Amino acid sequence: MNKIRLEAITDGIFAIVMTLLVIEIKVPELHDTFSNGKLLTELEHLIPLFLSFFLSFAVLLNYWTSHNFLISTMAKNVDRNLSYVNFIFLSFVSLIPFSSHLLGSYPESGVAVAFYSTNVLIIALLIFWMREYITRSPRIENPVVESLKLDAVGKYNNKDKFYGTARIVLSVGCSVLALALSFVSTNVAIVLLLIPVLTGAIPGSLAFLLKITHLEKLAVKEDAKL
């Protein structure tokens, strides 16, 4: 299988999906009834759609970054199985514009938030699936895994691997909690969906989160295994 073509179609689909997010936001049509006051009121009604757009754009950027690292850095080659998982992943990425528009149209609906959370959760699980397949499959050449086996100073690499796993687990965990709380508090659920995005965007935030939750001790244990 050609890795370059897989990366190309993935980048293309992400670009299209991220563009479709804003296309779903329609300009108010006032025409003969136009006034600045009416236009301002209509724009205020669009605020939830704009917020869902920015949330979804950030979510997609986060998963594009993760996918880019998996395929460009961790996998020196791809096989048929990895390609199939990748296309399943892209099918749920392509669903995000619909989920985002649903969330923006009905931000106080538990059903809308649950649907969006489920969409994000499936994407997170598929990223985890791809990562595990790349790490464990004997048919995928993985320079990162090899460096853990061969590098005499591999402690940094092993800790890096731990933080990569922590990002995926955080995405899955927050999505599960958001889904569970979607019918209790839609605002809390949306904040939970923001957490993985913020930890990916703010340098050092994941390390801080692991520190205050005392989960960083697991990274120390990983280092001790080397």
pLDDT in tens, 125-147: 999 999 988 888 888 887 655 55
Q: Are 74 and 136 in contact (CB under 8 A)?
A: no
Residues 187/131, Cβ–Cβ less than 8 Å: no
Q: Which residue has the higher pLDDT, 121 or 156?
A: 121
* pLDDT reported for residue 222: 46
Check pLDDT > 60 for residue 157. Answer: no
| Average pLDDT over every residue of 51-79 | 90
Taking Cα atoms as reference points, which of 217, 121, 211 lies closest to residue 170?
Answer: 121
Angle between helices 47-68 and 110-136 (to 10 degrees): 10
Helix H segments across 79-154?
Answer: 80-93, 96-105, 110-136, 143-150
Contact 128, 165 (CB under 8 A): no
Tokens of 14: 């992400």
Residue with the bigger pLDDT between 101 and 209: it is 101
- Please determine, for residue 219, whether its predicted confidence score (pLDDT) is greater than 80: no
Of the two residues 225 and 6, the one the predictor is more confident about is 6
Q: Are 99 and 178 in contact (CB under 8 A)?
A: no
Q: What distance in Å separates the CA atoms of residue 149 and residue 65, rounded to the nearest whole number?
A: 25
What are the tokens at 146? 């090899």
pLDDT at 147: 53
Rounded-to-integer distance, Cα 199 and Cα 183, Å: 25
With bands split at pLDDT 50, 70 and 90, how would you rate the model's confidence at 151?
A: very low
CB 78 within 8 A of CB 69: no
Listed in sequence order, the DSSP H helices in the chain are 3-23, 36-45, 47-68, 80-93, 96-105, 110-136, 143-150, 155-181, 186-201, 205-212, 216-224
d(CA 59, CA 64): 9
pLDDT of residue 89: 97
- Which of 28-37, 129-138, 195-204 is most confident? 129-138
Worst-scoring range by mean pLDDT, 56-70, 81-95, 191-205? Answer: 191-205
The full length of the chain comes to 226
pLDDT at 96: 97
Q: What is the torsional sign of CA 136, 123, 93, 157?
A: negative
21 with 97: CB under 8 angstroms? Answer: yes
Predicted confidence band at 81 (pLDDT cuts at 50, 70, 90)? very high
Question: pLDDT tens, 47-56?
Answer: 999 999 999 9
What is residue 32's predicted lDDT score, i.e. its pLDDT?
77
d(CA 91, CA 80): 17
Section 165-182 average pLDDT = 89
